[in-house]
Amino acid sequence: MIRLVQAPFDPGEALGEFCRDRTETGAVASFTGLARAESGRTDILELEAYPGFTEREIARHEAAARERFGLQDTLILHRTGPISPGEAIVFVAAAASHRRAAFEACDFLMDYLKSRAPFWKKETGPDGARWIEPTERDQDDLARWETQ
């Protein structure tokens, strides 16, 4: 499931709910992306989505991940709007019967979210605002999944 959220959320609460009443899961991997202050260089991060389109594109990749890694369940929470340092931007969880599948699925979904999911990210600090685009490292991370 993918949910865009506008208010700050607690990644712990998301993980707690995701793990609840799972008697046949075995493995839950999660990833939480937190906004960094970068030693005062970033005051605020602003995340823009294309409501409707963004959820549908992400749901497609969630379905691909479930199939590829044989997952039992996935959850993606993603903030939109202004985000302060220390707040969670994204939370991804994957449930599987074996830990390798759960780890790889989280890793795969994060690489996708970083470089291909319909979000636009603007950092504002003392030096002004700039739009963040995927780094070369993000592109390399994503490419790992294509050659396998």
Partner 1 sequence: MLLFGRLADLAGWREREIPAASLAALRGILAAEDPALFEALQAPAVRTAVDQTLVNLDVALRPDSEVAFLPPMSGG
- What residues line the site for its own copies (CB under 8 A)? 10-19, 21-39, 85-86, 88, 97-100, 102-103, 106-107, 110, 114, 137, 141
What is the rounded CA–CA span in Å between residue 130 and residue 96? Answer: 38
Q: Which residue in this structure is represented by tokens 């504002």? A: 124
Comparing CB distances to its own copies, the nearer of 41 and 56 is: 41
Residue 122 interacts, among its own copies, partner 1, none and using kind-specific CB cut-offs from 5 to 8 Å, with partner 1
Sign of CA dihedral 9, 101, 73, 140: positive
Q: Which stretch binds partner 1 (CB under 8 A): 7-15, 16-24, 61-69, 128-136?
A: 128-136
Residue 115 interacts, among partner 1, its own copies, none and using kind-specific CB cut-offs from 5 to 8 Å, with partner 1
Comparing CB distances to partner 1, the nearer of 2 and 71 is: 2
Residues 6+ away with beta carbon under 8 Å from 36: 42, 85
Q: Which of 73, 115, 124, 142 binds partner 1 (CB under 8 A)?
A: 115
Comparing CB distances to partner 1, the nearer of 71 and 90 is: 90
What is the rounded CA–CA span in Å between residue 83 and residue 62? Answer: 24
**For residues 71 and 101, is the Cβ–Cβ distance under 8 A?**
yes
Residue 100 interacts, among partner 1, its own copies, none and using kind-specific CB cut-offs from 5 to 8 Å, with its own copies
**Residue whose C-alpha is closest to residue 125's, from 61, 63, 37:** 37
Q: How far is the CB of 137 from partner 1 (least distance, A)?
A: 12
> CA-based angle 46:52:58, to the nearest 5?
75
What is the rounded CA–CA span in Å between residue 128 and residue 113? Answer: 25
Residues of this chain that bind partner 1 (CB under 8 A): 33, 47-48, 50, 52-53, 56, 78, 89-90, 99, 110, 113-122, 131-134, 138
